[in-house]
Amino acid sequence: MTDPALIDELKTLVEPGKVLTDADSLNAYGKDWTKHFAPAPSAIVFPKSIEQVQAIVRWANERKVALVPSGGRTGLSAAAVAANGEVVVSFDYMNQIIEFNEMDRTAVCQPGVVTAQLQQFAEDKGLYYPVDFASAGSSQIGGNIGTNAGGIKVIRYGMTRNWVAGMKVVTGKGDVLELNKDLIKNATGYDLRQLFIGAEGTLGFVVEATMRLERQPTN
């Protein structure tokens, strides 16, 4: 997609300056740590709200434009590569921890929250977020969920899947689904949350995640 009119339409869906088309940005945001594909996105868009994500998805449907979600782009599976003129949806500006539940030991995160940011938040609360890897300083929670990241403590604490209590996702139609509602016991039918974890953005975009925290280890 190189139609300037489509880019102008995209710019109306987000705040000013939140659509980039310069060569450096296209190269940086169009790839992850894999080197097999040359990045060739058409534009990078930075939503700041769930409503803006919905608007972008609905616009892409109407205009038949492919979207690629982008977090910290630290993956090695090419899940964040845009090599065929796609629009990259970067969650860099949806980066807040918006709620904390001390009783349940959960934190509600936007998808752009960096892993180390959640780890530090948990530590400040006297708790612990155990999913950890070398890219913790730049990887994002949305990407961790999309790839079901494991890391260096996986034998003791499991994959990212084990720490997602609930999620909000924007589907390919632009609808918002609330999955699981943070319940530990939920016997109400299909657990669609588990389908989205590890789906690498192919089923929809994670726009909010309730992450479980743990008591700090004693040794």
My answer on whether 185 and 209 are in the same domain is yes
- Asked if 131 and 79 sit in the same domain, the reply is no
Verify that 130 and 188 share a domain, yes or no: yes
Same domain? For 102 and 204 the reply is yes
Q: Can you give the pLDDT at residue 219? A: 76
* Range(s) of the domain holding residue 63: 4-90
pLDDT at 12 over 70: yes
Range scoring the smallest mean pLDDT among 15-24, 73-82, 111-120: 73-82
Which pLDDT band, with edges at 50, 70 and 90, does 129 fall under?
A: very high
Q: In the predicted model, what is the mean pLDDT of the chain?
A: 92
138 and 176 in one domain? yes
Q: What are the start-end ranges of the E strands in the chain?
A: 19-20, 43-45, 67-70, 87-90, 97-101, 106-109, 127-128, 164-171, 176-179, 204-212, 214-215
| Phi, psi (deg, nearest 5) at residue 214 | -120, 160
Number of domains the chain is built from: 2
Residue 187's pLDDT band (boundaries 50, 70, 90)?
A: confident
Q: With beta carbons less than 8 A apart as the criterion, state whether 144 and 206 touch.
A: no
What size, in residues, is the chain? 219
164 and 131, same structural domain? yes
Res 104: pLDDT? 94
User: Are 107 and 210 part of one and the same domain?
Assistant: yes
Residues 106 and 207 in one domain: yes
The predicted-structure confidence for 49-70, as pLDDT tens digits, reads as follows: 999 999 999 999 999 999 999 9
Rounded mean pLDDT, 113-130: 96
Q: What is the pLDDT of residues 135-150, one digit of tens each?
A: 888 899 999 999 999 8
Give me 67's structure tokens: 């979207």
Local confidence band at 79 (pLDDT 50, 70, 90 cut-offs): confident
pLDDT tier at 1, thresholds 50, 70, 90: low
2 falls in which pLDDT band (50, 70, 90)?
low
Pairwise CA distance, residues 154 & 104, whole Å: 22
Most confident region among 7-11, 149-153, 181-185 by mean pLDDT: 7-11
- Could you tell me which of 163, 160, 155 has the C-alpha nearest to residue 198? 160
| End residue of a domain, out of 43, 70, 90 | 90
Answer yes or no: pTM beyond 0.75. yes
Do 107 and 204 fall within a single domain?
yes
Q: Of 35, 65, 90, which closes a domain?
A: 90
Q: Are residues 64 and 110 in the same domain?
A: no
Tell whether the model's pLDDT for residue 31 goes beyond 60: yes
pLDDT digits (tens, 9 = 90+) for 149-176: 988 888 888 999 999 999 999 999 999 9
For residues 11 and 55, the answer to whether their CB atoms sit within 8 Å is no
Longest C-alpha distance within the chain, in Å?
59
Say whether both 114 and 203 belong to one domain: yes
Give the end of a domain, one of 24, 57, 90.
90
Q: Which two tokens stand for residue 35?
A: 């080197």
How far, CA to CA in Å, does 162 sit from each of 83, 91, 155, 165, 211? 32, 23, 12, 8, 9
CATH number for the domain that contains residue 116: 3.30.465.10
Q: Which two tokens stand for residue 157?
A: 């604490």
Whether residue 147 sits in one domain with residue 207: yes
Query: What mean pLDDT do residues 81-89 have?
Result: 92
CATH number at residue 85: 3.30.43.10
